[in-house]
Structure 1
């Protein structure tokens, strides 16, 4: 499927192939002269905002880069920082959490008075958070009102099938099955609050199998959405097979051209057409060759950090240094590439 890690994780110094846009990913804004103040202070870089993540790479060496999925972003705010290239100035602070580790990123626009990176990132992050039904499974959600599906902005209803049994319980529940261009929704006729909304993005397999209720439509969700196995029965069987073919067809179409639901235009709407191939500007490089970059520890964010740790004498350096954070050693902090 199109979305795997790109919108959910923070990754450092990824290969050229991982910087390229995936199916359904669109560039919303692109800025030159952005400094990664916390990890690569003193170096200019390019800053790309897509509908699912933030990409930053060094102008002098694209091997030094960042990929920050909007699903990993906890908050965005302004922060006064000391930039090597701008001095004391206002910067964009992004706090993230990825695979159990919290990271802090600070980006400074080196063009005086230009704060577009603030508005673009904050706007797209808000749009990402408000469009989760395009990308995530939802159980017992507020997706139906008065037996009518609440249509999403980019959604179109393809078909509505009544008299569909959900086989999740011993007795089964009778309800309505709706197929759209981005998901399927089923809800119980006697209680519309008993429902499921599963986007094509999170469907792993669609099949027809035998069950104790007879021939059934079986839909398996992806591992990231919990590996749910959902069974539905429709009579007559010919009607079930028609629903299976329709669902399979739209799932295939969606896979080649997914809709992530994140829409944000900061200007006249021409951004996408101007910048959608911007990552092609990279000069291809040897993905097996290591490039010098800052230690990932530069970006670690101390949870609840309010003041610097007490200085202690370090015999290796012969200097007083701030107490090293638990779990780290001096050698680790000096490593360019973790051993």
Structure 2
């Protein structure tokens, strides 16, 4: 059965796969799925450069769709994400701008790279789930308008049992 025709009741496909141009019903939240963050005015710079869209981050996936044409959309399951970083990219909406790069690998083994650019780039701080926020000198990389209030030594990184 084609992925576009999946039944709404299929379990956990939202978490495990990367899908494009889904029926808008498939973009609805599944049972147990909840929105963590919603970011307006996000451009899919690599795939739909110039189209403003909406990026929703849920506990299972990232959902992006063009505002003008919702049938142009993406669903990126969290389990497929292999890397997240920010770099400068050329956007039709913002010109040269810091953009969010998401690398993923679908169920078929196909690798994907997604580039999202937002009017408010500080929103990406919350999305850098699997990448470093420290430079080589162990100092926090600050975004514009951010300040570091304090530094606490001896904090454990429980994901890899390392002391910082």
After superposing on structure 2, the runs of 4+ consecutive aligned residues of structure 1 that deviate more than 6 Å are none
- Which structure's CA Rg is the greater one? 1
Residue 102 (structure 1) aligned with residue 125 (structure 2): no
Counterpart contact for 1:9–1:72, Cα < 8 Å? yes
Matches within 5 A, 1:228-239: none
2:79 and 2:126 map into 1 onto residues whose CA distance is 16
The residue aligned with 1:115 is 122
CA RMSD of aligned residues (A): 1.6
The residue aligned with 1:49 is 57
1:110 and 1:58 map into 2 onto residues whose CA distance is 15
The alignment partner of 1:6 has SS state of: helix
Counterpart contact for 1:49–1:120, Cα < 8 Å? no
2:79 and 2:110 map into 1 onto residues whose CA distance is 14
Aligned length: 122
Matches within 5 A, 1:84-163: 84-98=92-106, 99-111=108-120, 114-116=121-123, 118-123=124-129
Matches within 5 A, 1:56-67: 56-67=64-75
TM-score, normalised with respect to structure 2: 0.70
Q: 1:39 aligns with which of 44, 47, 51?
A: 47
Counterpart contact for 1:2–1:22, Cα < 8 Å? no
Matches within 5 A, 1:127-276: none
The alignment partner of 2:49 has SS state of: coil
1:3 deviates by 3.3
1:89 deviates by 1.0
TM-score, normalised with respect to structure 1: 0.35
1:93 deviates by 0.2
1:115 and 1:61 map into 2 onto residues whose CA distance is 26
1:51 and 1:121 map into 2 onto residues whose CA distance is 12
Per-residue CA distance 1:272-311 (angstroms, 9 max, x = gap): xxxxxxxxxxxxxxxxxxxxxxxxxxxxxxxxxxxxxxxx
Q: 1:27 aligns with which of 35, 50, 74?
A: 35
1:23 and 1:120 map into 2 onto residues whose CA distance is 24
2:34 and 2:128 map into 1 onto residues whose CA distance is 17
